[in-house]
Structure 1
Amino acid sequence: MYDVAVAFHELSFVPEGDEVVVGRVDTDSYAVLPGDGAALLRKMAEGMPPDQAARWYESTYGEQVDMDEFLETLHELGFVRSGETADGEAHGGAAPGRLPLRWLARAAFSPFAVVVYVAVLAAWLLAAVRHGDLLPRPRHMFFTDSLIVVQFGILFGQLPLIYLHEASHMLAGRRLGLRSRLGISNRYFYIVFETKMNGLLSVERSKRYMPFLSGMACDVVVFSLLGLLADLTRTPGGDFSLIGRIALALAFTVLTRFIWQFQLYLRTDLYYVFATALNCHDLHDASTALLRNRIWRLLGKPRRAVDEQQWTEHDRRVGRWYGPFILLGVLVMLGFVVLGSLPVTVQYVEVAVQGLRAGPSHAAFWDGAVAMVLLVTWLVLPAYLSWRKRRPARTRPAGPVLTEGVN
């Protein structure tokens, strides 16, 4: 059958230096091939039968190719249509459907929209220069005297803002013609939104930055709009109204998520920007493994080091000097805890304790008591669930595992 063309799924070919990233956009299956291997695959994807492609490869590169092994690899990657010839595929292939919301994506990232975003940021900067109380402060989180209202107001108030962040990623992908999807999930009892950037590796590297950075850009615009709303809704005396105080509280949560992106020891938006700019395929795992190995060697325990050959030479080379950026991310996290999270927690506890001192006959007592229970729950329960998840299987009772959902 080597004289019959092989039927392939629609493949993308993106040059990355001396290598080429080849993949299926519909399944997000990718492989990094040397230039000659990608050229051979391209010839076959264009309809050249394997035996003719092998002769072309030998005449072009002066070497023979093991076509059996090459085709086996392509089958394992899912690039080949099973049980079809190229002629059959040509008549049976389905045309790609219309991409929803692409018009909105183009409008959201148009030059006019960018001008509007910059104008919003400039307006907030001017307002913050005139009124220093617009600058984010931990005390802005407490927009009312009731800690329970603060807890649930912040919890549910920031959900649409997180949705906007992830929707920006999705729209940036749709703008490039990718079928990026936005979904909702949970981490324990926390609601989270997730964006799947399907097909991002099928576009040029220079076009991948906007999908990664669009979420942070959205945060800047939302933060500025909330600050302007607080400034425009002041009372006649110049104080913030309830709407303004809520806006500033939500703006502080937006700022915390923006700073969180600088924790480069995690796979944050900025991490993917770094990995893309440095042309690395698994910079996170390579750099953290190299950093741990270095620490184990300094401690005199080289046996605990992992095998570094499982990553590409380029990832290892970049990972050796990317380690300090991981430590920088840890410092950013510690700095934010000291300057942001700790002051909020201290003020929260102080207000709760003041309520408890009022006695059971006052509403402040019960507000403080429930607030402290909620605080302990938010802090302790996720850690406990994470510990249970990581427990060795042998410590768990044997038997079927049943899962129920809320209908």
Structure 2
Amino acid sequence: MTIAALDATSRPSVAHLLVRQEDEDEFVLGNPATGRFVVVPEAGARLIELLAAGHTVAEVADVLEHELGEPVDVLDFVEMLVEAGLLDEREAAGEAAAPRVEEAEQGKKVKYWVVSKIPPWVVKPLFGKAAWTFYVGCLVATLVMFAADHSLLPSYEDAFVVTDIMLSLVITNVVVMGLAVVHEIWHAFAGAAAGVKSQLRLERRGIFTVLETDLTGLWALPPAKRYSPFLAGMGFDSFVLFAAVAPRFAYSRGWLDLNPHVVRFLAMLVLSQVGKLAFQTMAYLRTDMYLVMATATGCKNLHQVTRLGLKRLIRKLTPVEQTILRDADAKDLRVARWYRLLYLAGIVWMGWFAWNFILPAAKVTIGWAAGVMVGAPVFSFYWWEGIGLVTFAFVNLTAPLFVALRNRIRARRAARVAVAV
């Protein structure tokens, strides 16, 4: 792409871009307004510094050639920033910024999740040293109780809180969705505590449909400040899991008297929270722990590099995929050698979980619904209840496919916009 208005006399408007050193010779360059970030070498960071000081493209090229001892194509670098979404064409040419494609389509600026706009001082106590000691303590205490009493471990049958399957699924899904929202709110709170706003979106991870808090702005912060927002949801889940296991443990020891319905409800909470925490450890699905691991290892594109490395063993890569793998960062290639084992283990776990939890629950639900629909008068309450159960099971099983289709449609639209530009 060539920007007609961009030439050697241009003064690209880059003052709004953030530059932060990520490694010894690498810097993160980003635009907080668009949530776009790229990794550039030290020369790229220096180039932005000179442009931000008001120098023209030609002047920056002269300074860099003098400092580095070799010519630098500043025009090409600025065009790369436009392609990456950090600048629009008017900003690159030094003119007034134009509305971004997303804003032009929506007629408004980026919408951040309202809970992410809370002042940092309000939510910081939730993520201080004392708070994290509490979260870790809850998880450790829960593991100790599981080890002491294996009957507290979850089973797919725990999803059915009452004998009426329809009512059980309604209760379970309302509770699970509510806790999932609070899980994401905890991510947003932790982001707000670090001064980063976020967005909530629906995404797919393997065979699962998930809510996801977009905290792209964290990449503008030092690595040490990213861990708390990444792990915040798991901290909340650990607390809820402890709160559900502890009363059942006391009940099993005769220390506490509980209503049987309460015991069943707590068992359902345990199933929900164990599933969530186990899911977050599946790094190959780019979950919370993947972000933690990628940050700790300093990787830039570990998931894609690992996936393409494994794909290459089975089938031929496309030219674009071959280029990505060829130009991959050395850290990504090095970590991918052992990360691929976690990747494959995650695929096996997902299959095991589907076989032992999702399919049995779906079988019970659909079987019960079919029995009701055959035995009950057409259009009666129980007949409609059976229809509702079948519909519910179908939506849950096919939701990931619909999300995948939506993402593919969006990717094609973005590609058409890029070609038009």
Contact kept? 2:209, 2:399, Cα under 8 Å: no
Residue identity matched to 1:23: G
Q: 1:328 aligns with which of 326, 345, 366?
A: 345
Please give the alpha-carbon distance, in whole angstroms, between the structure 1 residues aligned to 2:339 and 2:121.
39
| Aligned residue number for residue 309 of structure 2 | 290
Residue identity matched to 2:298: N
Please give the alpha-carbon distance, in whole angstroms, between the structure 1 residues aligned to 2:132 and 2:324.
42
Q: How many residues align?
A: 370
| Aligned residue number for residue 308 of structure 1 | 322
SS in 2 for 1:313: coil
The Cα of 1:232 is off from its aligned counterpart by 6.6
Contact kept? 2:29, 2:37, Cα under 8 Å: yes
Contact kept? 2:138, 2:238, Cα under 8 Å: no
The Cα of 1:286 is off from its aligned counterpart by 2.4
Please give the alpha-carbon distance, in whole angstroms, between the structure 1 residues aligned to 2:285 and 2:301.
12
After TM superposition, the score normalised by the length of structure 2 is 0.72
- How has the CA–CA distance of structure 1 residues 18 and 65 changed in structure 2, closer, same or farther, with 3 Å as cutoff? same
Are 1:272 and 2:291 counterparts? yes
- How has the CA–CA distance of structure 1 residues 338 and 193 changed in structure 2, closer, same or farther, with 3 Å as cutoff? closer
The Cα of 1:274 is off from its aligned counterpart by 3.0
| Aligned residue number for residue 402 of structure 1 | none
Residue identity matched to 2:322: E
Residue identity matched to 1:373: V
Contact kept? 2:156, 2:361, Cα under 8 Å: yes
| Aligned residue number for residue 83 of structure 1 | 95
Are 1:263 and 2:312 counterparts? no
Please give the alpha-carbon distance, in whole angstroms, between the structure 2 residues aligned to 1:30 and 1:384.
29
Please give the alpha-carbon distance, in whole angstroms, between the structure 2 residues aligned to 1:223 and 1:47.
55
SS in 2 for 1:22: strand
Please give the alpha-carbon distance, in whole angstroms, between the structure 1 residues aligned to 2:342 and 2:240.
28
- How has the CA–CA distance of structure 1 residues 154 and 174 changed in structure 2, closer, same or farther, with 3 Å as cutoff? same
**Deviations along 1:169-221, whole A, 9 cap, x unmatched?**
2122222211223x36588xx99633121312111223222222222222222
The Cα of 1:38 is off from its aligned counterpart by 1.5
Contact kept? 1:23, 1:31, Cα under 8 Å: yes
Please give the alpha-carbon distance, in whole angstroms, between the structure 1 residues aligned to 2:355 and 2:373.
26
Residue identity matched to 2:345: L
SS in 1 for 2:154: coil
The Cα of 1:231 is off from its aligned counterpart by 5.4
Residue identity matched to 1:329: G
* C-alpha RMSD over aligned residues: 4.1
Written as runs of structure 1 = structure 2, the 5 A alignment for 1:195-206 is: 195-206=213-224
Please give the alpha-carbon distance, in whole angstroms, between the structure 1 residues aligned to 2:53 and 2:272.
51
Q: 1:100 aligns with which of 115, 118, 121?
A: 118
Please give the alpha-carbon distance, in whole angstroms, between the structure 2 residues aligned to 1:391 and 1:99.
31
Are 1:340 and 2:357 counterparts? yes
- How has the CA–CA distance of structure 1 residues 224 and 324 changed in structure 2, closer, same or farther, with 3 Å as cutoff? same
Please give the alpha-carbon distance, in whole angstroms, between the structure 2 residues aligned to 1:148 and 1:70.
59
Q: Please identify, of 61-70 and 378-387, the stretch whose mean Cα deviation from structure 2 is larger.
A: 378-387
The Cα of 1:367 is off from its aligned counterpart by 9.2
- How has the CA–CA distance of structure 1 residues 225 and 387 changed in structure 2, closer, same or farther, with 3 Å as cutoff? closer
Are 1:161 and 2:179 counterparts? yes
Residue identity matched to 2:236: C
Q: Please identify, of 152-161 and 303-312, the stretch whose mean Cα deviation from structure 2 is larger.
A: 303-312
SS in 2 for 1:194: strand
The Cα of 1:147 is off from its aligned counterpart by 0.3
Are 1:44 and 2:51 counterparts? yes
- How has the CA–CA distance of structure 1 residues 246 and 73 changed in structure 2, closer, same or farther, with 3 Å as cutoff? same
Written as runs of structure 1 = structure 2, the 5 A alignment for 1:155-304 is: 155-181=173-199, 183=200, 185=202, 193-230=211-248, 238=257, 240-296=259-315, 302=316
Q: 1:137 aligns with which of 155, 161, 165?
A: 155
Q: 2:64 aligns with which of 57, 65, 69?
A: 57
Residue identity matched to 2:305: A
After TM superposition, the score normalised by the length of structure 1 is 0.74
Residue identity matched to 2:36: S
**Deviations along 1:15-51, whole A, 9 cap, x unmatched?**
3342222111222222322212222322332445555
Please give the alpha-carbon distance, in whole angstroms, between the structure 2 residues aligned to 1:240 and 1:333.
34
Please give the alpha-carbon distance, in whole angstroms, between the structure 2 residues aligned to 1:128 and 1:386.
35
Please give the alpha-carbon distance, in whole angstroms, between the structure 1 residues aligned to 2:146 and 2:381.
34
Q: Which has the larger radius of gyration?
A: 1
Are 1:8 and 2:14 counterparts? yes
Contact kept? 1:14, 1:202, Cα under 8 Å: no
- How has the CA–CA distance of structure 1 residues 199 and 122 changed in structure 2, closer, same or farther, with 3 Å as cutoff? closer
Residue identity matched to 2:230: F
SS in 1 for 2:285: coil
SS in 2 for 1:193: strand
**Deviations along 1:311-363, whole A, 9 cap, x unmatched?**
43324554455333221111111232344334544555676688789x649x9
Are 1:31 and 2:43 counterparts? no
The Cα of 1:125 is off from its aligned counterpart by 4.9
Give structure 2 stretches of 5+ with no counterpart: 1-6, 98-115, 410-421
Q: Please identify, of 192-201 and 341-350, the stretch whose mean Cα deviation from structure 2 is larger.
A: 341-350
Give structure 1 stretches of 5+ with no counterpart: 86-97, 297-301, 393-407
Contact kept? 2:120, 2:195, Cα under 8 Å: yes
